[in-house]
Amino acid sequence: MELEKASARLAPRSPWQAVDLGTKLYRQWAAPVLWVWLAFTLVPFGLMLGWSLLAETLWPLFLFWWLKPLWERPVLAWYSHALFAETLTLKQLFQRWRQYALPGLASQLTWRRFSPARSFNTCVWQLEGAKGEQLSQRLRALNSYPSNRAGIMTIVVLHLEQFMAMGLMVLLYTLVPWQFSLEWSDWFYDQGALQMAIASATLYLVMCVTEPLYVACGFALYLNKRTWLEGWDLQLGLTRLGRHRASRTGSTLLMLLALLLPLPEPVTAQPSPRNNEEQQQVIELLAGPDYMPFEERTERQWKDRDDDSDSWLEKFWKHFFDNLDDDEQQEPSDSPFDIPDAVLWILFWGVFAGLAIWLLIKVMDQLGLGSRNRDSTPVIPTHVAGMDIRRQSLPKNLRDATEQALGANDIRLALSLMLRSALAELLRRYPVALAAGSTEQQCLRNLQAAHGEPLPILYLQRLIQAWISTAWAHRPVDAETVRTLLADWEQISAEEAANA
């Protein structure tokens, strides 16, 4: 591998920058890579689709999907050569197929088929050709910390593939003329040959885009990991520097090696001014962004408990848990939180049990099993037919208030007061479910439906009739009728109170 020929800059990158490089590789070579993909997959796909349609089964298409690691091999082979300025023809790819396609394929198609790092590990099998224990060691080394994020990249591309396939399928369904009676919903439960063909073709079309992209990203991650581990960038830098200096002194490389070697003492106590200058250049070169990419990183780590903390809360918890931990080793202390163990235990388990019960009640309420849900007693409304029937809104002495309204010849107000009082009292005695929009007649109907027709409800019926005649028909009842209704109400209230 001649690193100097690499058409991409080999520098240590973060995994996401490496994936970015992969997408750039794909964009640069999208057309030739698509040809490679089509050359190796179009015929197998066509055969399997035909088989699938004839046999009316999805198994051949599943087989095509399962063989994805095999279809990815030629694409990777093409990328790996193209990066180092060698363009393989389709003929060469077919000729070398056995060399690059078979290493590690058996494991990739069986127990490693669902490996999330497939695109990364394929590079190891295919490009390095390692086997046995050596291969395992290579994989361990390349997959060592820090993570290369190949798994996450696989998940992202997988989603991309599914969403693109779904989107394309929906688009196709919308374009199918209605005479075909092809409903999108049918796809889920009634797949005819046409549906199957559409679904398979869309998935294949999407794979034409996602598979070369996936391979390119995996390859870029692989290059990046090797750059970090094997210092490819350093190697390239030194090579370039060596060539540059060779014509002048040929001593720079020696100086670099001397610097890089961990010598306990300098060889020369007083270097010459020229040597100093070169040494400074090398240091600057190595300190440059190509070789020492500094990056800020924030990490969270567990730290030991700070025993010297002055926080009273921390002291309390420390004391609390210490007490819970060791009953027998307890020693007398002068702590301000010197609480007996039993109290702490009760406190701890009390809070725990309380939380558990609260959580249980909430869950049962959510599931509709709670006692609150079983309680069928309706909530007494505060307003009926727009009338405020809360106790505080009602007059303390109904008779006085009614007489006052009658004195002012306001029959409507007098009846309104009586109706509000009667409703407030009756709904407390005979609860029913009512809404803000319930009319007075609805209220009456609900009361009759729920509680039949006891005397107070019959009275309410008379009162509502008088109210409707006055309020809505503009035919106010006379004052005597109001007084009779009032007297009847007082009598009913007295009887109800006596019975209670």
Partner 1 sequence: MTQPTTLADATRLAQDIEHHLNQVLIGQRQVVREVLIALVSGGHVLIEGVPGLGKTLLVRSLGKALELDFNRIQFTPDLMPTDVTGHAMYDQKSEQFRIRRGPAFTQLLLADEINRAPAKTQAALLEVMQERQITIEGKAFTLNEPYMVLATQNPLDQEGTYPLPEAELDRFLFKVLIDYPDHADETRLVNMVLDGTIRASLDVESLTPVTDAAGLKAMKTLSDGVLIDDEVLDYALRIVRATRDFSGLSHGASPRASIALARASRVQALFEGRDFVTPDDVQQVARPVLRHRIQLSADAEIEGQTPETALGRLLEQVEAPKQ
Q: By CB under 8 A, name the binding residues for partner 1.
A: 383-387, 412-413, 416, 419, 435-442, 468, 471-474
Q: Which is nearer to partner 1, 224 or 438 (CB)?
A: 438
Least distance to partner 1, CB of residue 376, Å: 19
Q: Which is nearer to partner 1, 145 or 472 (CB)?
A: 472
Q: Which is nearer to partner 1, 148 or 470 (CB)?
A: 470
Q: Catalogue the long-range contacts made by 253-256 (C-beta closer than 8 Å, 24 or more residues apart).
A: 255/279, 255/282, 256/282
CB 237 within 8 A of CB 291: yes
The CA R_g of the chain, rounded to the nearest whole Å, is: 43
Q: Which is nearer to partner 1, 234 or 387 (CB)?
A: 387
Q: Which is nearer to partner 1, 333 or 465 (CB)?
A: 465
Least distance to partner 1, CB of residue 375, Å: 21
Q: Which is nearer to partner 1, 383 or 451 (CB)?
A: 383
Least distance to partner 1, CB of residue 467, Å: 9
CB 392 within 8 A of CB 444: no
Q: Residue 309 in 3-state DSSP?
A: coil
CB 202 within 8 A of CB 165: yes
CB 79 within 8 A of CB 25: yes
CB 117 within 8 A of CB 150: yes
Please state whether beta strands 387-388 and 383-384 pair in parallel, antiparallel, or not at all (unpaired). antiparallel
Q: Which is nearer to partner 1, 238 or 419 (CB)?
A: 419
Least distance to partner 1, CB of residue 367, Å: 20
Give the C-alpha distances (Å, rounded to integers) separating 58 from 61, 192, 316, 442, 499: 5, 11, 65, 61, 78
Q: Tell whether the torsion through CA atoms of 143, 149, 155 and 159 is positive or negative.
A: negative
Closest CA to 380 of 440, 416, 441, 425: 425
The alpha carbon of 93 is separated from its chain's Cα centroid by a whole number of angstroms, namely 42
Q: Which is nearer to partner 1, 148 or 438 (CB)?
A: 438
* β-bridge mates for residue 384, sequence order: 387
* CA pair distance 392, 410, nearest whole angstrom: 22
Least distance to partner 1, CB of residue 319, Å: 53
Residue 383 parent element (H or E): strand 383-384
- Size of the chain in residues: 500
Q: Which is nearer to partner 1, 435 or 449 (CB)?
A: 435
* One-character DSSP codes across 242-292: HHHHHTTTS-HHHHHHHHHS--SS-S-SS--HHHHHHHHHHHHHHHSTTT-
As given in the structure block, the two tokens for residue 273 are 């001014």
Least distance to partner 1, CB of residue 417, Å: 9
Q: Which is nearer to partner 1, 150 or 405 (CB)?
A: 405
Q: Which is nearer to partner 1, 31 or 473 (CB)?
A: 473
* CA pair distance 67, 213, nearest whole angstrom: 17
Least distance to partner 1, CB of residue 472, Å: 5
Least distance to partner 1, CB of residue 387, Å: 6
